[in-house]
Amino acid sequence: MALVCGQGSAAAQRAAVAMSAAPAMPCGGAEIARGRADKVRDGGNFQLGDGSIVHLAGIEVPMSAVSGAVFAAPGGAAVDAELTRLVSGAQVVLRKAEVKPDRYGRVVAYAEIVRDSDRRSVEADLLAAGLARVSGDVASHACAAALLSAEAAARDAKIGLWANPYYDPLRADDPVGIVAERGRFALVKGEVVSVHESGATLYLNFGRRWSREFAVTIRKRNERRFAAAGFDLKALAGRPVEVRGWIEARAATDGGVAYWRAPWIEATYPAQIQLADHN
C-alpha cells in the first residue's frame, strides 16, 4: 500500500474517501474480454489466466526497478504491490480503449474488477491511491474528467507518487531542465507567452526564443477536438496552464557545437491541457 502523508489533513481524508469509493468509471467502450487475473507483471500490466497481457489504459505508472526496467522511476514497486492487491485472482472485465494493441502485443484496455454486482475501476483506484497519473491519450471528455478528479484528490493530499518531488510539474521556463527529461511522461506548468500557426501545426509557446524554449504542439487536424470541448487554444496566450505528455527534443549543431533544440509536448486531446489557475 502507498504511504499517506499528512493523515490528519482534510486533503488526506478526501483522498481516503476517493480510494474507498472508486466505482466503475465512464471510461472505455464495449466489453472486449473478461477473465480471472493471474499475476501482475509491472508498469500497469497484468496477465489473465489465458496468458493475455493487459496494459491499463488511461493512466501512466512508473516501471519498477525489480522488473529490470531501464527507465525505472520512484514508486514503481509500490504500484506493483497495489495492483497485485487489487487484481490478483479477481474477475476482470476489459473495455475497449481509444488506442489499439501496442507493439508488444498487449491488450490496452480499461479494466473493471467484478465482485457480485459491484464493479470497480482499476485505473480509478490506482489514481485515488496516488500511484498513477492520467495519461495523454484519453479521448472521452467524461472519462478524462473522472480520471483527473481522482488524480486531483491524491495530488491535493500528496500521497503516493505525489509525495515525491520527482513527480512535481516541470517549469516551462526551464527548457534545459525539460530537455533533461526527454523521453519521460511528465507534467509541465507555465504561462503561455504566445500562440502561432506554422504549416499544419499550432504552437503554444512558453518563451520568445522559439528555437530554444519549451512549446506545446497541436496538429491542426486535431484542433477540432479542442474546439468541440469548448477549448479556444488561441485564447490561452497570457494564461498559466499545465500540460501533460511525453517530452520530446531533437539534437542539432551550430558551428560544430551540439545542442538540443526546443523541447516540446504534442497535445492530441483536450484533457492534456488544463488551466493552472483551476488546479
The pLDDT, as a whole number, for residue 105 is: 78
pLDDT in tens, 39-88: 998 778 999 999 999 999 999 999 876 555 556 688 999 999 999 999 99
pLDDT in tens, 138-170: 999 999 999 999 999 999 999 999 999 999 999
Helix (H) / strand (E) containing 16: helix 10-20
CB distance 157 to 2 below 8 Å: no
CB distance 218 to 272 below 8 Å: no
In the chain, residues under CATH classification 2.40.50.140 are 169-278
Helix (H) / strand (E) containing 201: strand 201-205
Nearest to 201 by CA among 212, 189, 209, 210: 210
The pLDDT, as a whole number, for residue 50 is: 92
Alpha carbon of residue 89 to chain centroid: 27
| CATH of range 169-278; options 2.40.50.140, 3.40.50.11540, 3.40.462.40, 3.30.930.20 | 2.40.50.140
For residues 171-195, give the mean pLDDT: 96
Q: Is the pLDDT of residue 6 over 80?
A: no
The pLDDT, as a whole number, for residue 84 is: 94
In the chain, residues under CATH classification 2.40.50.90 are 10-163
Nearest to 138 by CA among 19, 74, 57, 24: 57
Predicted structure pTM score: 0.86
Percent of all residues in the chain with a pLDDT value above 70, rounded to a whole number: 85
Mean pLDDT of the chain: 86
Return d(Cα 223, Cα 200) in angstroms, integer: 10
Nearest to 203 by CA among 221, 188, 218: 218
Architecture of domain 10-163: Beta Barrel (2.40)
Q: Is the pLDDT of residue 205 over 80?
A: yes
